[in-house]
Amino acid sequence: MGGSGLSSRLYILYRAPGIAHAVHTMAEETRWIADEMVGKLARYLRFLGYDVVYAHGMRDGQILELSRNEKRVILTRDELLATRARSLGILLRSLDVEGQLRELGRAFPSLRKEVQFTRCSLCNGRLVPADRSTPAPPKGVPLDVWTTTREVSVCPLCGHAFWEGTHTEEIRQALLRAFQG
């Protein structure tokens, strides 16, 4: 790999010109599929509100099939997979998530850059506002957070709860570093 790993060089494979552009400009928001090497990026993109399948345990053939069927852009550090994905593949060079976000931001200038509470970062479920009709907080939410924080979101699929806190602040800082660089 050499010592230039942090130079954030980006290779987009435009084997079929126009398709990546078409995906990008569709009225519908771009959806992604992240391979096993960029799992952290998948979580960050979900924090940005994107629909991201994490291809944990999936073979390349399955990833390619899902990508084609659902028009999902493949995010990968695997050169061969990116080549096979043709215009629906983005080859990322950075090893760290901030570098990967930076590369993606360059490839997709309209990439959302602010944290949203619309997707579960763990399972990609669509978040809903927590039920306020009961006094008890949802599982995993401390009582002080529940009583002081209006906006608590819950994932109906895995039950995980999300709210503004130190964790999201860390993510915001990472996003800032990624997109300012």
State the residues that interact with Zn ion by CB under 5 A: 120, 122-123, 125, 155, 157-158, 160
Quick one: residue 89, left, alpha or beta (phi over 0 = left, psi -120 to 50 = alpha)? beta
Residue closer to Zn ion (CB basis): 9 or 126: 126
Residue closer to Zn ion (CB basis): 88 or 154: 154
Residue closer to Zn ion (CB basis): 43 or 72: 43
Residue closer to Zn ion (CB basis): 140 or 165: 140
Residue closer to Zn ion (CB basis): 67 or 153: 153
Task: Supply the minimum distance, in Å, between the C-beta of residue 124 and Zn ion.
Answer: 7
Task: Supply the minimum distance, in Å, between the C-beta of residue 48 and Zn ion.
Answer: 16
Residue closer to Zn ion (CB basis): 64 or 120: 120
Task: Supply the minimum distance, in Å, between the C-beta of residue 79 and Zn ion.
Answer: 31
Query: If DSSP states are collapsed to H, E and C, what string results for the chain?
Result: CCCCHHHCCCEECCCCCCHHHHHHHCCCCCEEEECHHHHHHHHHHHHCCCCEEECCCCCHHHHHHHHHHHCEEEEECCHHHHHHHHHHEEECCCCCHHHHHHHHHHHCCCCCCCCCCCECCCCCCECEECCCCCCCCCCCCCHHHHHHCCCEEECCCCCCEEECCHHHHHHHHHHHHHHHC
Task: Supply the minimum distance, in Å, between the C-beta of residue 148 and Zn ion.
Answer: 24
31: its two tokens = 């959806």
Task: Supply the minimum distance, in Å, between the C-beta of residue 158 and Zn ion.
Answer: 3
Kindly tell me the sign of the dihedral angle through the C-alpha atoms of 11, 15, 16, 17.
Answer: positive
Task: Supply the minimum distance, in Å, between the C-beta of residue 127 and Zn ion.
Answer: 8
